[in-house]
A = this chain, B = another copy of it.
Amino acid sequence: MIFMKERTLLKLYELMYRSRFMEETITRLWNDGHIYGEMHLGIGEEAIIAGVLSHLIPGDAIATDHRGTPPFVMRGVDLEALLLEILGHPKGLCLGMGGHMHLFSQELLLTSSGIVGSSGPSAVGFALAAKYRKTNNIAVAFFGEGSMNQGMLLESLNLAAAMSLPVLFVCKDNNWAITTQSSEVTGGVLLDRVRGFGIEAREIDGSDVTTVWQAVETAIPRMRKSTKSPYFIQANCTHNEGHFLGDPLLRFHRAPRKEFGAVTGPLMKSVLQYKGGRIDKRIRSVTKVLSLIAKSRMQLSDSKDPLLRFEKDNRDLEDQFTQIKSSIQSETNLLVERIMGIIQEEGVL
């Protein structure tokens, strides 16, 4: 096992739990109808984000994807401003203009975007700026494995390699892209692909924060040196809320009777429709869909939960963990109270 200072372990736990509790809070607010539109959480990715962010220094930039909340929380954005933003409040971080997919902090060089793959070019540009200014800063791109088929991300791998830029590409691999299993639409092996661009790459267990921490600890110092270069980390994870809150696949497992009836009616009608494909093909299609729904259940499992795992691996720190948790909880709950106050008072979302 990797040797890490207790202080570091506690710091990592704190980062992860703060993000987790914030997103659980967001879930509650979303369920209560206080947040409109989609809500993509980073629950399940905390080990990856914390393991990376704990190595960053001031001036490093981070480009996130549609799951921007954890990096924003862990990088130290004012939580009240962040939560207000996610609620769409005019006093939010972005005056309510952005919402959870379009969070921005100039001060901390943090961006996000709802366009798949765009964190690649974005991180490349920040790294370019760092190199141009001859600082030792780096830029991190967070994205999912599904994004690895998006042209601009592939281009940005090459661009970072060809221009020798200090970009840490972090692929959070849950093997799902909405309801597509990425392995079914991805040719070859991602790490080979990345190495084919001349970038050093490594696959790690993204549910284990100490593994992530250690991998990044090795990677980053080289990136900061005067001979810059990009680095790529592929880290597995699971989103146990599925793609977003209210994920239609997961709804099956959570409210099977209601959902199943709504879907299988039209589905069976389609299978039995007079015109169409050969019956074996139809059956194969339905089987495929059903098996997809079945597979989506895996996401619900807690076995890959980075926080549970960390707690289990560090039983000796249990007391401290409990303390961290309760202080974060009460902090966050107070925050929510204050915010709901603001919202109620001003009467607008």
Contacts and interface: CB of A to CB of B under 8 A. Distances in A.
Contacts of A195: 188, 192, 196
A133 to B, nearest CB: 15
Contact of A158 (B157, B187, B189): B187
Interface string A164-188: 0000000000000000000011111
A161 interface: yes
Nearest to A199: B187
B186 A196 contact: no
Interface residues of A, number: 28
A198 interface: yes
Nearest to A185: B162
A189 B184 contact: no
A152 B187 CA distance: 15
A303 interface: no
A194 interface: yes
Interface in A192-219: 192-199
A89 to B, nearest CB: 37
A151 interface: yes
Given A194-B196, A198-B189, A151 B152 contact: yes
A192 B192 CA distance: 7
Nearest to A183: B162
Nearest to A164: B187
A115 to B, nearest CB: 13
Contacts of A159: 149
Given A151-B151, A188-B199, A192-B196, 12 more contacts: A149-B155, A149-B158, A149-B162, A151-B152, A151-B155, A154-B154, A160-B187, A161-B188, A162-B185, A187-B198, A192-B195, A193-B197
Interface of A: 149-152, 154-155, 157-162, 184-199
